Structure 1
């Protein structure tokens, strides 16, 4: 695949990411008293037939036009983004975007009660935000309204929430982060059934060279990327200021598209013609890390990539079009579920997939504890060795 445009037949992308008035908003925390119902949001993306009106499309549903607004409540704060990234103090070192479904309240609460409650690790700020679309008919949308107002950690965009719209959800989250949290150093995209070992992940990113950046010492954030100033030879830079580019995850190579009709991961020949071959390398969507400069790059080239329903493949394709290759990290579990093991989770894994709410909190007790401190004795040397070997064996069997 070259660097040229690969258009989707008969479809065009409207409502570009760069339009600030289409930006999704984080619902602010409520004023004292009864929580306020958040207002609905304008669509960020819409798929339209050429020359036609918005209409549902198979697999990728367009947002419904003319969304009604919720009943007004107490006036919101002047800046609804301050609760996420504009609070006093240093900017977030790590912003975690969790893709979730409207009905997955138990999963969100398990994260809030475990690894999502951390706000600082090694003196570096951490922030967790949940990404949602519009609930479908029959969903408990009113409960979501009050949950949003109570916690102030939900970013909702106006498109139908479904698995096949995960690309829209992720792009809206990355766009929101770039627009309203530009000083965040790293972005982790993950899902609500994934356990994240936040302290170890922060340590991993620090080891990869995060602490020396000027933004952390208060000099200021890296400047925004502009068209034409990318340099991909040698060390990556944006203009004259060094900005490390990082796309880190459990990488999949040479994956062929699934053509199974009606399958969860189906990609039609219209969306990805057979002549294009396998997908480019991409990091598993269960958990990958992007540096702020990588987020800017992906958003800038995303409109030139075919809009696929597979979010992780789409991000990998966009990264490739910008000249950025994913970095493989076996500690990010991908789609693998690891049995609960204190040494494996505490000394090796950065993420683990397919944890239910009970397992999420049990893993947190093993690794973090109620206040980020371990509540049980940690591994001996021999236990640690055996636990890490067990983890590596599972990772090898699933690679």
Structure 2
């Protein structure tokens, strides 16, 4: 009897154990038909976050032994998939081959980005070095030479002036008839003064002094400016021109490096509106011009196709980029400039205006307008350049006799224009 009781107990225990083994086999995943019997290592489990009870649909599910068992089996599945991804990534990505025996989590994103940047540098290093090409982009209504902010706004390769010059002028508020009546038929002298937008006081001091001669029938005078992107300054210029009507404004952006464009602009305006004028004086708004002396100078000149002024000979290009007069070898390859008249003031005969305008557009651009116009372009056109000692083009003593014997005096402040005008008009002082 006791034997049968023990035998029955053994059978019952065996059946119970077999049922538990069958139940557990339902949760064992398989890959490729083989059951997964590997133990989940602690270091792998530590890298896989366990599902928290709050992520399930019931607050008590996390305490269920079946749920804990399914979590363990899910972790085992993730570890298998994780191992497969690691093996595939190591074979396909050379950056990960060095860590094929490590968990993919051990490769930091910063390390991956660093390795990727190195591989990009190697790829770029195989290409030939590329120098940035200077962009010359004339905007509608605005023309300028563009370059880096550290260097002057100039192209580092030769570019024809016509590609950066936009012809035309803003003649809405200008009084063309008072500047050049009958297209210059009866005009002996046209004085065009290069000015800057902000130089209002310089323009006013000239209007109150030697620009007085512009009221003569045989003399015309005007200021020449470019454009500005400053809206308030543009409005002020419009008002100023509405009052005086003596400001010729081109489409180029007004800057030091665009002085050549400003001179081309005054040549274009003269060629369009005053082609019959006999002489044109190009000067700046920091100059004092003895107009009577200039008219006397003109009376003694009979030569055609000429430029008169302070002649500069054998001047060498300045190659230092720190200088305002810097010119690269691409812009001018020679070692010495051709003879030219210095820019503060020079006199042109009216018969060369059209030729200078057209030829300048077909010549490679240079920022030094006096070298460009009266040197390089004039030489190509075989225009005569003559030295005239009356063009001082420098600051001199303000003594009345010095002023009366000079045609042009340079570096004059607005307040000083009145002093020179008074000395010029003082009839009580005699000069030999």
Give the TM-score, by structure 2 length: 0.60
Q: CA 1:118/1:318 → structure 2, altered by over 3 Å: closer, same or farther?
A: same
> d(CA) in 1 for partners of 2:322 and 2:347?
30
- Please tell me whether residue 145 in structure 1 is matched to residue 238 in structure 2: yes
Q: Please, which of 349, 373, 398 is the counterpart of residue 340 of structure 1?
A: 398
Q: Whole-Å Cα distance in 1 between the matches of residues 154 and 176 of structure 2?
A: 28
1:210-259 Cα distance to aligned partner (Å, 9 max, x none): xxxxxxxxxxxxxxxxxxxxxxxxxx8xxxxxxx2220000101111111
Match runs of 1:197-346 below 5 Å: 197-209=290-302, 244-273=304-333, 276-315=334-373, 316-334=375-393, 336-346=394-404
- How many equivalent pairs are there? 288
Q: Would the aligned equivalents of 1:59 and 1:309 in 2 still touch at CA under 8 Å?
A: no
Q: Which residue of 2 aligns with 1:101?
A: 196
Q: Which has the higher contact order (CA 8 A, sep 6+)?
A: 1
Q: Residues 150 and 302 (structure 1 numbering): CA distance in 2 closer, same or farther, change over 3 Å? A: same
Within 5 A, what are the aligned runs for 1:38-117? 42=141, 58-60=152-154, 81-86=176-181, 91-117=186-212
* Alpha-carbon distance between aligned partners in 2 of 1:250 and 1:261, rounded to the nearest angstrom: 26
Residues 312, 252 of structure 1: alpha-carbon distance in 2 compared, 3 angstrom cutoff:
same
CA distance in structure 1 between the aligned counterparts of 2:191 and 2:222, rounded to whole angstroms: 6
Q: Distance in 2 between matches of 1:86 and 1:179?
A: 13
Aligned residues of 2:309 and 2:388 also touching (Cα < 8 A): yes
SS at structure 2 position matched to 1:326: strand
Q: Contact 2:183/2:273 (CA < 8 Å) preserved in 1?
A: no
Q: Which residue of 2 aligns with 1:184?
A: 277
User: Using the alignment, how far apart are the partners of 1:263 and 1:11 within structure 2?
Assistant: 20
Is structure 2 residue 407 aligned with structure 1 residue 356?
Answer: no
Counterpart CA distance in 1 for 2:396 and 2:361 is 36
Which residue in the other structure is 2:224 paired with?
131
Q: Is the CA contact 2:152–2:257 (under 8 Å) kept in the aligned structure 1?
A: no
Output one character per residue of 1:7-36: Cα deviation in whole Å (capped at 9) or x when no partner. Answer: xxx889999xxxxxxxxxxxxxxxxxxxxx
The 1-side partners of 2:381 and 2:238 are apart by 38
CA drift at 1:42? 4.3
How far apart are residue 142 of structure 1 and its match?
Answer: 1.8
What secondary structure, in the 3-state scheme, does the structure 2 residue paired with 1:155 have? strand
1:13-32, aligned counterparts within 5 Å?
none
SS in structure 1 of the partner of residue 384 of structure 2: coil
Q: Which has the larger radius of gyration?
A: 2
- Structure with higher strand content: 1
Kept after mapping to 2: 8 A contact 1:281/1:325: no
Task: Work out whether residues 184 and 276 of structure 2, in 8 Å CA contact, stay in contact via their aligned partners in 1.
Answer: no
> Given the alignment, which residue of 274, 289, 304 partners 1:196?
289
Evaluate the alpha carbon distance shift between residue 322 and residue 14 of structure 1 in structure 2; reply closer, same or farther with a 3 A threshold.
farther
- Cα distance, 1:246–1:112 mapped onto 2, change above 3 Å: same
1:325 positional shift: 2.8
Q: What TM-score, normalized to structure 1?
A: 0.65
RMSD: 3.4
Structure 2 alignment gaps of length 5 or more: 1-132, 156-162
**SS of residue matched to 1:146:** helix
- The residue that corresponds to 1:34 in the other structure is none
Residue matched to 1:22: none
Distance of 1:164 and 1:89 partners within structure 2: 31
Contact kept, 8 Å, 1:133 with 1:169, in 2: the verdict is yes
From 244, 263, 266, the counterpart of 1:173: 266
What whole-Å deviation, never above 9, does each CA across 1:117-160 have from its counterpart, x for those lacking one? Answer: 21366xx6111110101125487222111001110000011221
Contact 2:190 2:281 in 1 (8 A): yes
Q: SS in structure 2 opposite 1:331? A: coil
Question: 1:254-273 CA distances to partner (integer Å, 9 max, x unpaired)?
Answer: 11111111421111111112
| Aligned equivalents of 1:271, 1:115: Cα separation in 2 | 37
Unpaired segments of 5 or more residues in structure 1? Answer: 1-9, 16-40, 50-56, 210-235, 237-243, 368-373, 386-399
| Cα distance between partner residues in 2 of 1:289 and 1:310 | 17
Work out whether residues 318 and 326 of structure 2, in 8 Å CA contact, stay in contact via their aligned partners in 1. yes
2:92 is aligned to none
**SS of equivalent to 2:180:** helix
